[in-house]
Structure 1
Amino acid sequence: MERLQKVIAHSGIASRRKSEELIVEGKVKVNGVIVKELGTKVGPNDTVEVEGIKVEREEKVYFLLYKPRGVISAVRDDKDRKVVTDFFPHIQERIYPVGRLDYDTSGLLVMTNDGEFSNLLTHPKYEIDKSYIAKIKGIPTRQELTKLQRGIKLEDGMTAPAKVKFISADRSKITCIVELTIREGRNRQVRRMFEALGFPVMKLRRERFGTLTLKGLNAGEARELTPHEVKQLRTLAQTGQFVTLYSKSKPI
């Protein structure tokens, strides 16, 4: 079920705010009945009309994108920078990213036009786990990595327990590669966790999102999710289980 104004806006008939105005003005019908309540929700089998015009629902689509660095996780940018939807020029549906990756962070990003699915994957109570490969300046000790596992105090509070895997170190350059798996989605969280320990992140890539990985993709490439993968993600979010796999690290 989705909010009526969201369904109208997503169809392209009007903006979200204009859709709300149309509802309040009594210009919207659901199954032939005028609806003026903004909290009204409709399902896929409900018929919605705006000023006598039937709203055509888009078919739900789901994609996995390997976002390169230097790309905005948005559908548009007021500074005219490259955005993630630029990688889908032939997709007619109005897709958008599920969550976001920072401008300087590469990696796995789910794209869809399914609002309920997007909420399921991003709402804090569902806790989908995400794995990141970080190249950091410095080489932390075992004790310092343990602090990441237990949780780090940031300016917006303690982080939840995480999973940490030390992958490799370059002692001549005093850098190392660490895999960090978290369930939260705070702004720049992985970077801030390492920085709180005194290890600035030089490069960062999201390698896994729930059961999805970047296997078979290069930066800038995308593929459609299979129905089984979509079902797996829904189940994972609803059961709240940590995925106990680590992906093989590629050069970062």
Structure 2
Amino acid sequence: MERLQKVLAEAGVASRRKCEELITAGRVQVNDEVVTTLGVKVNPALDKIKVDGKSIRRQTKVYVLFNKPKGVITSAQDPEGRKTVTEFFKDIKERIYPIGRLDYDTEGLLLLTNDGEFAHLLTHPKHHVPRTYLATVRGVPHGSQLEKLSQGIKLEDGMTAPAEVEYQDIDQDNNEAVIKITIYEGRNRQVRRMFDAIHHPVNKLKRVQFGPIQLTGVPRGRYRFLTQDEIEELRASALAAGTREGKKPRESHKIQKGE
């Protein structure tokens, strides 16, 4: 016997939190009876479960690493007619959806799945799963400015958690710098807003790592399936991060000589 919301999430209906909302809204039936109470347990092999009158079915779990191009939105559809990430997976019969989001103008590593419980685990705020980006910024930030990011900086929605920040490259001719930054939160446009706060706006942003998984060997606009070992590494990373709740991530920044 398993909790109803878990069964729904594992069937790819939605994240577990969204499935809980479906239950309390009276949109879920078990054996033709509406269930509105959370915590009800069912036998997915025997019980007939419906959402909005349609029977659910257990799906094959799919876990995908996608190298998202710039100019693609992280959504199933777009009223403005822009290209969406789902257009890249027409050969996958299961309905997969992104784990978190990347902005329209941001490229790089995006994970997708139909495993709602797994997605919930990786995106829940208490787990602080690290995300690493390469940010090409206007100008060359001084070391003291990167120190502000590494300690946490005040944004309009509050202080950020400490980040790990280091220089990767400096292009004096184009007055740009490439900064590697690892954050432990998933706020909207967080990296861009952090660099705006130190007056070095982002010209280009690419996510290169999510937890222990790196973006290597996958061309832009292509994907590959995660291995079972990678899936377990991600799960372990999220659970380990959850045990560190309330503790600050390790602070780190490397300053070029003369900065």
Q: 1:210 to 1:2 in 2, by over 3 A?
A: farther
Q: CA 1:44/1:75 → structure 2, altered by over 3 Å: closer, same or farther?
A: farther
Equivalence for 2:256: none
1:200 aligns with 2:188: no
Identity of aligned residues (%): 43
CA deviation profile, 1:29-76 (whole Å, cap 9, x unmatched): 2xxx94523424557855331579863211111000000000010111
Tell me the alpha carbon deviations over residues 109-156 of structure 1, each in whole angstroms, 9 at most, x when there is no partner.
000000000011001101100100000001011111111100110000
TM-score with structure 2 length normalisation? 0.81
Matches of 2:230 and 2:250, distance apart in 1: 14
What stretches of structure 1 move > 6 A for 4+ residues in a row?
Answer: 16-19, 241-244
Cα offset for 1:187?
Answer: 0.3
| Residue 248 (structure 1) aligns with | none
2:61–2:114 contact (8 Å) kept in structure 1 = yes
Distance 1:36 1:5 in 2: 13
Moved more, 2-11 or 183-192: 2-11
Q: Is the 8 A contact 2:73 2:103 kept in 1?
A: yes
Cα distance in 2 for residues equivalent to 1:223 and 1:123: 24
More displaced stretch, 131-140 vs 48-57: 48-57
| Mapping for residues 145-224 of structure 1, pairs under 5 Å | 145-224=146-225
Q: Counterpart amino acid of 1:47?
A: L
**2:167–2:179 CA contact under 8 A, matched in 1:** yes
Matches within 5 A, 1:116-131: 116-131=117-132
Alignment match, 1:39: 38
Contact kept in structure 1, 2:12 and 2:114, CA below 8 Å: no
Q: Residue in 2 aligned with 1:247?
A: none
Aligned length: 235
* Residue of structure 2 in register with 1:10 after alignment: 13
Contact 1:210 1:243 in 2 (8 A): no
Task: Answer yes or no: is the 8 Å Cα contact 2:107–2:207 preserved in 1.
Answer: yes
Deviation sequence 1:154-203 (CA, Å, 0-9, x none): 00000000001101111122111000000101000000000000001000
| Structure 2: gaps of 5 or more residues | 252-259
Q: Matched residues in 1 for 2:30 and 2:223: separation?
A: 37
Q: 1:73 to 1:43 in 2, by over 3 A?
A: farther
Secondary structure of 2:208's match?
strand
Structure 2 partner of 1:249: none
Q: Matched residues in 1 for 2:43 and 2:182: separation?
A: 35
State the superposition RMSD in angstroms. Answer: 2.9
In the alignment, is the contact (CA less than 8 A) between 1:65 and 1:108 conserved in 2?
yes
1:63 maps to which residue?
64
Contact 1:2/1:116 (8 A) holds in 2: no
CA positional deviation for 1:213: 1.1
Distance 1:200 1:53, change over 3 A: closer
Gaps of 5+ in 1: 245-252
Whether contact under 8 Å (1:10, 1:94) holds in the other structure is no
